[in-house]
Amino acid sequence: MSKQVLLIEDEPNIIEAISFILSRDGWTVKTHSNGADAVDIVKQRKPDVVILDVMLPGKSGYDILRELRNDPDVNGLPVLMLTARGQTKDREIAERAGCDAFMTKPFSNADVLETVRALAAK
Amino acid sequence: MPRDTLTGSRIRERRVMAGLKQSELAKRADISASYLNLIEHNRRRIGGKLLVDIAHALGVEPGSLTEGAETALLATLREAASGGYMPEAEFVRVEEFAGRFPAWAALLADSQRKVETLQRSVEALTDRLTHDPHLAASLHEMLSTVTAIRSAASILAEPGDIEPEWQRRFNRNIYEDSARLADSSRSLAQYLAEADSEASETNAPQDELDGVFQKAGFHLPALETLQADVDAVAADLGQDVSQAARWLLRRVLLRYRADAERMPLAACADTVAVSGNDPFAFAARFGCDLASAMRRLAHLPDDILPDPVGLAICDGSGVTTFRKPLPEFPLPRLGAGCVLWPLYRALARPMMVHTEVMEQSARAAARHRGIAISQPTGPARPGEDVLFESHMLIVPEPKRDVSEPIRQVGLTCRICPQASCEARREPSIMVASAPRKL
């Protein structure tokens, strides 16, 4: 059975591109676009890797990450954070909230693929 | 005690103003022209009988030659020195520098002020990049679109076959996203261009307010009549300042008008004639609070007062909200003043009057009485804390022996020579000992 990635992102064309490259690499890609119920979706799907955007409608990616880290069911899940701002401050907040990897938009497809593979292998 | 080395410059200034030649003045004072020349260039100290003779020959008070209004200039020069490396030996000669090269000194002080203004602009712009929600949202939108374009484009560009259907989809996505990017970048450029014209006014609003009063003076005849129109005066005085400064200005003028209504000018003149510039006499005569009396005194015309008075008002956080400095009692343009001032002490004990004779240590010659009170800014309401603000009236005090203790205070820590001070919050560049070598 192929490994599953849950992509939580609200930009449709980014969703399409990332889904395409990950699917082509053999991943099962599920997507979700709303922050408010993202934690529930993660717990339902139990993916192998989560890609989490910071700016989401309903709830910020940082808050979602903190909730995941405080939940014994899913606290070990590898999370790759995506943010559109590249300030050190954002990276710091993300790291403190407990992300495993961090990427600044615009990123390259190859980097995303490589990072997701590395996170799943952990 | 710093020695005053500007006397010579003042003599020269007075002589030129009187249209006298150096040789003429030298003859009247019974000295050689070359000696007078040395004095005028601050190369020889002068005092005693010769000073009195020269003052007499010039027809001025001897005191006017030994006391000047350069405190603010010297303070700015010290600020400038504190920004870079300045050997102690040269630093202490700041007065000599200002005296011998007045134009260079003024130029340096001016540059220092410009640097401060620019620093503030940079801070304001940085703040804006971090906190401007519109800018942050636009940038986020642009970066998201760029990301989508880049991902889709690299999928198409990478080697390997992609089904025609996917090709079409990514082509269409790129086409849509590039149109979005064009829109959002256009609106961002427009927004930045508009912001640019605003940013040219990045002077702190409080600074602009100071500028308005410097130009118009603190006494505003237009607000002294019963028909006074505060909004018209605010519009007139505030025509060249930013919106934020106009807001501050209007607030000050509204208070001015309310004070003037309770204490009409003619009655103020009477009160001054009887009791001088005493805020307590004003409060008693007009049945008002002490802070209003202080503000009224600060806005009276100089010619009805025995001496012009200064005023500083700060809010509960210690930030100055109104500044009327005196030539010999400058108030800092940025940040807070000396924590030893009654202005700040009053905040700790609201409604208690703190009065103290002060000598600003950088300027040992001048003595001032500070009268301060911290009062609620509004009426008391059940179950609610009130906010306090502190007023300090600054009254020049003659230099004579008094039994009252005289408090040595500073202007701001950075340029304060007080070697041991418990209130110090920043090392001084004027203290020769430990802090400087750190």
Give CA–CA dist B290/A92, Å, rounded.
Answer: 51
Q: Do A107 and B154 touch (CB under 8 A)?
A: no
Q: Which CATH number fits domain B7-103: 1.20.1440.60, 1.10.3730.10, 1.10.260.40, 2.70.98.20?
A: 1.10.260.40
Among A7, A13, A25, which would you mutate to test the B interface (most chain B Cβ atoms within 10 Å of its Cβ)? A13
Q: How far is residue B99 CA from its own chain's centroid? A: 23
Does B147 sit within 8 Å of A107, measured CB to CB? yes
Closest CA to B247 of B259, B238, B258, B257: B238
Q: What is the CATH architecture of B307-438?
A: 2-Layer Sandwich (3.30)
Task: State chain B's mean pLDDT as an integer.
Answer: 84
Q: Which two tokens stand for residue B381?
A: 């309401």
* Mutation target vs A (from B129, B142, B144, B165; most A CBs, 10 A cutoff): B144
Structural domain boundaries of chain B?
7-103, 132-199, 204-262, 307-438
| Alpha-carbon gap: B140 to the closest alpha carbon of chain A (Å) | 6
Task: Kindly tell me the burial class for residue A65, based on how many C-beta atoms sit within 10 Å of its own C-beta (0-12, 13-18, 19 or more).
Answer: buried
Chain A contact present for B349, CB below 8 A: no
Q: From CA B337, how far away is CA B323, in angstroms rounded? A: 11
Mean pLDDT, range B360-370, rounded to an integer: 75
- Residue A118 pLDDT exceeds 50: yes
Q: pLDDT for B165-192, tens place per residue?
A: 888 999 999 999 999 898 888 888 877 7
Mean pLDDT of B122-143: 74
Rounded to 5 degrees, φ, ψ at B325 are -75, 160
- The token pair that represents B339 in the structure block: 């924590």
Farthest-apart Cα atoms in chain A, separation:
39
Rounded to an integer, the average pLDDT of B56-72 is 72
Q: Which residues of B touch A13 (CB under 8 A)?
A: 148, 151-152, 173, 176-177
Q: In 3-state terms, what secondary structure has residue B192?
A: helix
Alpha-carbon span B45 to B27, nearest angstrom: 19
CATH number at residue A9: 3.40.50.2300
Q: Are the CB atoms for A5 and A22 separated by under 8 Å?
A: yes
- Across residues B389-399, what is the average pLDDT? 92
The answer, yes or no, to whether residue A91 has pLDDT greater than 90, is no
Q: Is the Cβ of B176 closer than 8 Å to some Cβ of chain A?
A: yes
pTM exceeding the 0.80 threshold for the entire prediction: no
Identify the residue with better confidence: B427 or A73: A73
Q: Which residues contact B125 (CB under 8 A, 6 or more apart)?
A: B199, B202
Structural domain containing residue A58? 4-121
Q: Which of B49, B51, B48 shows the shortest CA–CA distance to B8?
A: B51
Domain count, chain A: 1
- Kindly determine whether residue B173 and residue A21, on different chains, have CB atoms separated by under 8 Å: no
For residue B252, what pLDDT band results from cuts at 50, 70 and 90? very high
Strands A28-32 and A4-8, sheet pairing: parallel
Contacts of range B110-116, beta carbons closer than 8 Å, 24 or more positions apart:
B111/B80, B112/B76, B112/B77, B112/B79, B112/B80, B112/B83, B113/B76, B113/B333, B115/B83, B116/B79, B116/B333, B116/B334
Amino acid at B292: S
| Highest-confidence segment of B97-101, B124-128, B267-271 | B267-271
